[in-house]
């Protein structure tokens, strides 16, 4: 019997980490590392063959340098001492900044916020070390990943909560390339299974290749979850100065090299999310 690969998931309590573990816990011997855990001790104890780094600090600026950059440097040091270990690091589509075209892996990085800057810096650090020392490390840049475990302060959970509470909410202008978390973690699984094809410092975009507006998101949610409750006011301006009317991926690279395509469109993903809510909560949407 072939033993399972030891996989360390860093950021295991977040949407992506938690969803990946739920879906693929039988495929690997999984170890977890959260914000309060000592990464160095966990690495020494578990000696992983694979590392999936989903961690990152998008909101609290004082912790961004540590979480988004220094943690990656520690992982690089581990890879240099353990040359047979593979690292799949999650960057961010926001590293590209504002583009008026679908961003692809060769698009220049133009960060405009501390979060974007620290994520971009970690990408460049990892690419440089991976190419110089032939490290088995790649970078996946997610677009807008969503699902049942999404943080409550994000657009889709906020709309759902407004419907459930019959409360009010403002919907600002904005566009995103949404990719359902079940598609996303399946893509990660495909990449891990095809790790022999990785190139040191390889960059891979993962999105749906389509963008929809915040207004369309509201419209689709009402159709799937029920539209009788909740009061929504449409605001025809951006909520943040760095929000954009164009945020969409060019994901042809992963399709061609790794034969990965998404299975869920936005409507079908919402229907699947509703099933998850009905299984795990007492919420009534209709």
- Classify 183 as helix, strand or coil: helix
pLDDT per position as a tens digit, 235-285: 988 877 667 788 899 999 999 999 999 999 999 999 999 988 877 665 555
* pLDDT tier, 1 (very low <50, low <70, confident <90, very high otherwise): very low
Contact between 255 and 261 under an 8 Å Cβ cutoff? The reply is yes
Architecture of the CATH domain 6-280:
3-Layer(aba) Sandwich (3.40)
Q: Which long-range contacts (CB under 8 A, 24 or more apart) does 216-221 make?
A: 216/266, 217/155, 217/156, 217/159, 217/178, 217/266, 218/159, 218/171, 220/266, 220/267, 220/270, 221/156, 221/159, 221/160, 221/163, 221/270
Query: Mean pLDDT, the chain, as a whole number?
Result: 93
pLDDT value of position 229: 81
Beta bridge partners of 202: 138
Q: Say how far apart CA 150 and CA 275 lie, in whole Å.
A: 15
The token duo for 264 is 């869920």
pLDDT per position as a tens digit, 152-196: 899 999 999 898 888 999 999 999 999 999 999 999 999 999 999
Of the given ranges (111-115, 154-158, 220-224, 278-282), which has the lowest mean pLDDT? 278-282
The token duo for 273 is 């999310």
DSSP state of 170: E
The pTM of the whole model exceeds 0.75:
yes
Beta bridge partners of 172: 235
pLDDT per position as a tens digit, 80-94: 999 999 999 999 999
Phi, psi of 171 (to 5 degrees): -110, 115
């Amino acid at each position: 019997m072939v033993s399972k690969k030891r996989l360390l998931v860093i950021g295991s309590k977040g949407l992506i980490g938690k969803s990946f573990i739920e879906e693929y816990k039988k495929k690997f011997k999984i170890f977890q590392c959260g914000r309060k855990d000592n990464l160095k001790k966990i690495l020494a104890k578990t000696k992983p063959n694979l590392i999936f780094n989903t961690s990152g600090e998008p909101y609290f600026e004082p912790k961004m340098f540590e979480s988004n950059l220094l943690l990656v440097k520690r992982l690089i040091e581990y890879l240099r001492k353990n040359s047979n270990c593979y690292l799949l690091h999650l960057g961010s589509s926001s590293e590209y900044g504002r583009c008026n075209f679908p961003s692809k892996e060769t698009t220049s990085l133009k960060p405009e916020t501390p979060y974007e800057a620290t994520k971009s810096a970690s990408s460049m650090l990892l690419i440089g070390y991976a190419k110089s020392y032939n490290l088995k490390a790649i970078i996946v840049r997610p677009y807008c990943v969503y699902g049942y475990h999404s943080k409550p302060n994000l657009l889709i959970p906020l709309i759902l909560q407004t419907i459930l509470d019959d409360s009010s909410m403002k919907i600002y202008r904005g566009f995103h390339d949404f990719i359902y978390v079940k598609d996303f973690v399946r893509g990660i699984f495909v990449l891990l299974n095809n790790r022999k094809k990785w190139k040191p410092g390889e960059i891979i975009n993962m999105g749906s290749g389509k963008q929809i507006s915040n207004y369309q998101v509201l419209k689709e949610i009402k159709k799937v979850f029920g539209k009788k409750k909740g009061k929504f006011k449409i605001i025809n301006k951006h909520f943040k100065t760095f929000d954009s009317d164009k945020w969409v991926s060019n994901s042809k690279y992963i399709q061609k090299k790794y034969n990965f395509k998404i299975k869920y469109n936005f409507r079908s993903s919402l229907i699947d999310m509703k099933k998850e809510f009905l299984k795990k909560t007492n919420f009534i949407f209709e």
